[in-house]
Amino acid sequence: MKRFIIAGFVGLLTLSGCSSDDTSNTSSSTTAEEAEELTVDSVLEDFTDAGLEAEEVRDMTKDDFGMGPMKSEEAKRFLIPSLGADAGGRIFSYENQEDLEEMKDYYETLGEESAMLFSWTAANENILIQINGELPEETFTYYEKVLAGEEVEVTEQASASTTSLREAGEGETYTDELFGKYQVTKVITPEASDYQTGTINFSLDSVKIADFTPQDPSMFEGQESFSVAVMFLTSENTSEETVSFHPFSSVLTTDTKKQIEAEMFLNAGESEHIGQVIQEHQVAYNLGDEGIEDVTELTFTIDGPSQDSMTNGEDVTITVPVE
């Protein structure tokens, strides 16, 4: 009888031990799953660890949501300084997957209705990110991959942007807050760059080909994107008198029989030279959808300078090979 009692007692201990082990294993598994759950802060940390911009993080306000549904568990705003002032993205966490999809659809619908409202979106598990559409697609892909838990190596070109179109290199992006975004696809540095007409000495510093996305397409006959050729000049007046040098009235012709006048809204610089001063000029030409795919030469015809409404020099024609 004692043997049965002891055997029963040992059996109970064995069952109790198994039950304890099962509970312990279940508890450990649950804890591991909870530890691996994505959070807003963990994803932002992953971005910065990967070398991606995610700065000046703050909680989102009602105004940051705009007309979008405020159903997230947590939401934060972060900046991407290379895109310009107050430009960046948003990151949300959700308890309900349907709420996440609703917010994602909201941003995607905005982009479909207007190119000006386009933004990038990506989701993984309970996290949604939304980033300014001015960010190059290649760079956004890095954010998307990091969100998905992939290890990435951010290339210099993918993260490249610049605060000056004049200084922008091939593959870099420049955003003009008033007019739109330039994605530079080609930089041409002319072999002959120094010219003289009247009392004006000037140099053709470079010509850049870029894909341009306007902030307001109505300013450009409704075009939502087009190619541009941008000429950069530096001019110096050698006279003590006031002389006007106006490259903004120049004309571009191509060997594909196109004649294009400068795009007024995209030009920058001063034409008036009061005495011996130096001026920098940016002159842009709308190449349309075709770009320079079949172009082998760009020819710029620039008006000569004037003084007191009288011509002060000869017109200058410059031909730039496209290689």
More confident: 287 or 9: 287
At residue 281, the pLDDT reads: 96
- Domain 162-321, what fold? Immunoglobulin-like (2.60.40)
Amino acid at 161: S
Rounded to whole angstroms, how far apart are CA atoms 266 and 165?
11
Q: What is the pTM of this model?
A: 0.56
Q: Could you give the strand order of the β-sheet that contains 310-311, starting from the edge strand earlier in sequence?
A: 272-274, 242-244, 306-307, 310-311
Higher pLDDT, 82 or 221: 221
226 has a pLDDT exceeding 50 = yes
- Domain parsing of the chain, residue ranges: 40-147, 162-321
Quick one: pLDDT at residue 3?
Answer: 45
Q: How far apart are CA 25 and CA 164, in angstroms?
A: 58
Count CB atoms within 10 A of the CB of residue 184. 21
199/80 Cα distance (integer angstroms): 45
Q: How far is CA 246 from the centre of its chain?
A: 31
Contacts 24+ apart (CB under 8 A), 81-85: 81/53, 81/55, 82/53, 82/159, 82/160, 82/161, 82/162, 82/173, 83/132, 83/134, 83/135, 83/161, 83/175, 84/134, 84/175, 84/177, 85/177
pLDDT at residue number 19: 44
Q: Report the C-alpha gap between 46 and 210 in whole angstroms.
A: 32
Q: What is the DSSP letter of 219?
A: G
pLDDT band at 155 (very low <50, low <70, confident <90, very high): low
Average pLDDT, the chain: 86
Residue 13: predicted pLDDT? 40
Give percent helix, percent strand, percent coil of the chain, each to the nearest 5: 30, 35, 35
156-168 confidence digits (pLDDT tens) = 545 555 668 998 8
Q: Check pLDDT > 70 for residue 4.
A: no
DSSP 247: G
Predicted confidence at residue 36, as pLDDT, reads 72
Q: Contact, 203 vs 236, CB < 8 A?
A: no
Residue 206 structure tokens: 């470079």
**Could you tell me which residues come within 8 angstroms of residue 220 by beta carbon, excluding any fewer than 6 positions away?**
214, 226, 263, 265, 286
- Residue 8 Rama label (left phi>0; alpha psi -120 to 50; beta): alpha
| pLDDT at 158 (0 to 100) | 53
The encoded tokens of residue 28 equal 């450990």
Q: Are 93 and 40 in contact (CB under 8 A)?
A: yes
* 188-198 per-position pLDDT tens digit: 999 888 999 99
pLDDT band at 266 (very low <50, low <70, confident <90, very high): very high
pLDDT tops 60 at residue 211: yes
Which amino acid makes up residue 134? E
- Bigger pLDDT: 22 or 216? 216
Instruction: Read off the pLDDT of residues 7-26 as tens digits, 9 standing for 90 and up.
Output: 444 444 443 444 444 544 54
- Which of 78, 56, 63, 184 is CA-nearest to residue 131? 78
Mean pLDDT, residues 127-151 taken together: 92
**Residue 314 above 90 pLDDT?**
yes
Token reading at 308: 């007191």
pLDDT band at 215 (very low <50, low <70, confident <90, very high): confident
Rg (alpha carbons) of the chain, rounded to whole number: 30
Q: What is the mean pLDDT of residues 144-161?
A: 76
The encoded tokens of residue 68 equal 């979008």
Over range 51-70, report the average pLDDT: 92
pLDDT digits (tens, 9 = 90+) for 73-130: 999 999 998 877 778 999 999 999 999 999 999 999 999 888 778 999 999 999 999 9
